[in-house]
Amino acid sequence: MHTLCPYCGTGCGLIARVEDGRLTGIEGDPLHPVNRGRTCRKPLELAHAVHARDRALAPLVRSSREVGFRESSWDEAMPRLASRLRAIVDEHGADAVAFYVSGQLLTEDYYAWNKLAKGFIGTNNLDSNSRLCMSSAVAGYKGAFGADGPPPAYADLALADTFLLLGTNTAACHPIVWGRIRDRLREGAFAICADPRLTPTARDSDLHLP
């Protein structure tokens, strides 16, 4: 079964092996244009995560903070959630509600959450761990290139003759990009890593500038 990795925003293609309705294994999809069969370690353990004994398989609700959660149905949980949100907004105003969402959401998911928070409830209190994760990168991109967004594409890596890696341990932090860089290095490109640490990226570069 062809699917996508649910973790970071790279969007790697995966092949899921399913037997008797259970996920039994994951491997990289060699036909996917992003990762071309490569993966990092995270999706390789998805079968254990999907079938973990403590995984929540149904909504959990509680009547107050003094009692524990109990399993519920969606038919019960959704009206309770909507009613509670409405009561909070009516009593305290829309800005009494805030949403903190995952950085692993897709663009369409972010759109839906923004519509719910800003368009329906009427609050701007929506944030995600993407801000914490990417705030320094945003500042760097805007300062260097004038816009918030990485300027190159994957295809550019196959055309580069020299890679200058400044303080980044790409081998650990972005193994898919590092795999493409190493492909190019085997074809004769040159990698320079400027980093005070002797990281795996620094060790595998042609020149390490500590």
Under CATH, which architecture does the 2-50 domain have? 2-Layer Sandwich (3.30)
User: What are the pLDDT digits (tens) for 25-74?
Assistant: 999 999 999 999 999 989 999 999 999 999 989 999 998 899 999 999 99
Give me the percent of the chain exceeding a pLDDT of 90.
74
In the block, which residue shows the tokens 């254990």?
Answer: 48
Q: What is the pTM of this model?
A: 0.72
How many contiguous H segments (helices) and E segments (strands) does the chain have? 8, 10
User: What are the pLDDT digits (tens) for 131-142?
Assistant: 777 788 888 888
The reply to whether domains 2-50 and 152-209 share a CATH topology is no
CATH 3.20.20.20: does it fit domain 152-209? Answer: no
Q: Are 38 and 180 in contact (CB under 8 A)?
A: no
Mean pLDDT of the chain: 92
* Helix ranges restricted to H, 5-73: 46-50
* pLDDT of amino acid 2: 95
* pLDDT of amino acid 205: 97
SS3 34: coil
